[in-house]
Amino acid sequence: MIDVQTKMAERAVELLCVPEDKPCYVLDIGCGTGLSGDYLSDEGHYWVGIDISPAMLDEALDRDTQGDVILGDMGQGIPFKPGTFDACISISAVQWLCNANKKSDVPAKRLYCFFSSLYSVLVRGGRAVLQLYPENSEQLELITTQATRAGFTGGVVVDYPNSAKAKKFYLCLFSGPSTSIPEGLSEDTEEEKPAKSTFTAERVPYRIARRGVVRKSREWVLEKKARRRRQGKEVRPDTQYTGRKRKPRF
């Protein structure tokens, strides 16, 4: 599950087409325990997550995620100032707005409230990539209609459309002039394109490829502490022992 979540977050960031030479401020809708946020951090971006589940957010805090997380219902709007974020991603969350959990819930109204507030908090020209699992074509049409009504342009990218298990829907939205929508992945394109990742027998989970910083190293710890200071959090002062690897006990 963690591997699938990370791959979908990687694909969402790829579809965002954000600049590779500078970090962006990204909103993660339905952040859960912060797995997507971990990938954003590894790519050098700053992020804020919002989720309706207190238990999920508590686990995210226990995991010491590098982003900030807040408790909130996306169906009631995104509580940030206009133009706050450069981009937005969401993994397996938006389709839940199509369900009415109580009599007062109207899916169309909740979707419009979500998309209109999302349009506001993005900078002009910003993008949002929302991975979702629509139950049927009517549900997907409801979601895209409300997104268009809120002012977004864009469309749906479908990866592996002929596969029952690997098929994924990504709603790519632009808060500005419409641009070309990326093509979805398929079995044919995967054979034609060289793989971006190489598989080895060794597991290297903490390599941050683009920045060249190894997680838990002294440089990584100092960078993380500096980021938390900029966020106004209380951080212990740096010493000669900061990031020093402890020897195993006897």
Domain positions in the chain are: 1-175
Q: Above 80 in pLDDT, residue 88? A: yes
Dump pLDDT digits (tens) for 101-133. Answer: 888 889 999 999 999 999 999 999 999 999 999
Rounded CA-CA distance 205/187 in Å is 27
pLDDT-based confidence at residue 231 (cuts at 50, 70, 90):
low
Q: Does pTM surpass 0.85?
A: no
Dump pLDDT digits (tens) for 33-60. Answer: 999 999 999 999 999 999 999 999 999 9
CB 114 within 8 A of CB 74: yes
Dump pLDDT digits (tens) for 13-31. Answer: 999 998 878 899 999 999 9
pLDDT-based confidence at residue 173 (cuts at 50, 70, 90):
very high
- Any alpha helices (H) in 35-123, and if so which ranges? 35-42, 54-62, 107-121
pLDDT-based confidence at residue 190 (cuts at 50, 70, 90):
very low
Residues 6+ apart with CB under 8 A from 168: 8, 11, 131, 158, 159, 160
The total of other beta-carbon atoms located within 10 Å of residue 131's CB is: 25
User: What is the homologous superfamily of the domain 1-175 according to CATH?
Assistant: Vaccinia Virus protein VP39 (3.40.50.150)
- 168-174 and 46-51 beta bridge pairing: unpaired
74 three-state secondary structure:
helix
